[in-house]
Structure 1
Amino acid sequence: MAKLLIVYHSQTGNTEQLILAAHRGAAKESDCELRLKRAFDADLADLLWCDGVLFGSPENFGYMCGAIKDFFDRTFYPAEPYELNLPYGLLVSAGNDGSGAIREMDRILCGYPMKKALPDLIAKGEIQQAHLQQAEENGEAFATGLCMGIF
């Protein structure tokens, strides 16, 4: 059984809407065990447990949120000896264009090392039904890909 970790932070609820939609989609894959964690509650043990990770972050000042950065700060060096090489996907709720948050998360995740397995989902402005549908599809695709071993 594949194991999918979903790590996120949300202050306004926008990112949480995206993450819960992705979680619903991933839950459609019955052969995938899911673990949903807020960034401040996730740790190295969660990364060692999983086969892939979805990260959700609001865009703050053109960057990822502090909680996701804190997660990276707490796990990056302790994860180094494990050479995780996990697939990942990114979901960002953005007031701007989201590119700075995506760029910096990609840069950090490359060092773990992790490999991007999904196109980025950037929800600009208020969360719309189309954003939620795409997040759900991304969650389902990611979980299915983990179970099939294609990532």
Structure 2
Amino acid sequence: MVYFDIGDKYSIMTEVRKSVYSSYNITLDKIMIRDDSVVDKKILITYASSTGSTEKLAQIIAEGIKKVDGVSFEMKRAKDIRPDDVASANGYAFGSHSASEYMEGEIKNLFEVLYPVKEKMSGKPVLLFTTGQGKQAAALASIEKLAGVFNPEWIKPGLAVKGMPGESDKANAIEMGEKLADAVKKTQKSTYIVA
């Protein structure tokens, strides 16, 4: 399939004639319109969790995302993420257990794997979260520094939770998940010709 971002729905036929007919010799019966304004936006939640607390926090963030219509999510461990997973997402939540003031190696490795697709991630909303028995705020700062290479739209504040998330942590995580989903929902909508 070939996508042509035409932006303005009223210029469809002009763009069809110029781009599709001349370049690809495609007839009108082979063309369909895809309007991203009616397609659900997707958030990728990915994390590294050694004790289960970061995974639990990811699940709570997902509860907040569920509150926003038109936005879905996919949750995966960092070690299971592939560049295609992030390229197709409209926003992200990255989480790690703190390991002596730093993120887990699994998350660091993920950012290295994603570097080749950084342009596809640029400008998209990102929420960061950590858990640990201390130094989780420092770990959050280390993730932010590394993720900054992707030029995200930060959803702040990030979440730095001590141990297993408690009731107040749960309320904050739900609120931040909802805030992330709202930001993703507001991302630019495009109309495409798919041939």
TM-score by length of 1: 0.89
1:1-80 equivalences in 2 (<5 Å) = 1-76=40-115, 78-80=116-118
Overall identity of the aligned pairs, in % = 27
Q: Where does residue 32 of structure 2 map in the other structure?
A: none
Q: Where does residue 117 of structure 1 map in the other structure?
A: 155
Moved more, 113-122 or 39-48: 113-122
CA distance in structure 1 between the aligned counterparts of 2:173 and 2:64, rounded to whole angstroms = 8
CA distance in structure 2 between the aligned counterparts of 1:82 and 1:142, rounded to whole angstroms = 18
2:168 to 122, 130, 133: 130
The letter of the residue matching 2:169 is H
CA distance in structure 2 between the aligned counterparts of 1:2 and 1:35, rounded to whole angstroms = 11
2:130 to 92, 99, 120: 92
CA distance in structure 2 between the aligned counterparts of 1:149 and 1:80, rounded to whole angstroms = 17
The letter of the residue matching 2:62 is H
Residues 71 and 181, structure 2, Cα contact 8 Å, conserved in 1: yes
Deviation at 1:46, TM superposition (A): 1.4
Unaligned runs of 5+ residues in structure 2 are 1-39, 189-195
Query: How many residues align structurally?
Result: 149
Q: SS of the counterpart of 2:122?
A: coil
Residues 100 and 135, structure 2, Cα contact 8 Å, conserved in 1: no
CA distance in structure 2 between the aligned counterparts of 1:132 and 1:67, rounded to whole angstroms = 24
Deviation at 1:81, TM superposition (A): 4.8
Deviations 1:105-142 (A, max 9, x none): 11111112223122111112343111122111111121
TM-score by length of 2: 0.71
Deviation at 1:7, TM superposition (A): 0.7
Q: Where does residue 149 of structure 1 map in the other structure?
A: 187
Question: How has the CA–CA distance of structure 1 residues 81 and 51 changed in structure 2, closer, same or farther, with 3 Å as cutoff?
Answer: closer
Deviations 1:51-74 (A, max 9, x none): 110111110111001111111121
Question: How has the CA–CA distance of structure 1 residues 128 and 147 changed in structure 2, closer, same or farther, with 3 Å as cutoff?
Answer: same
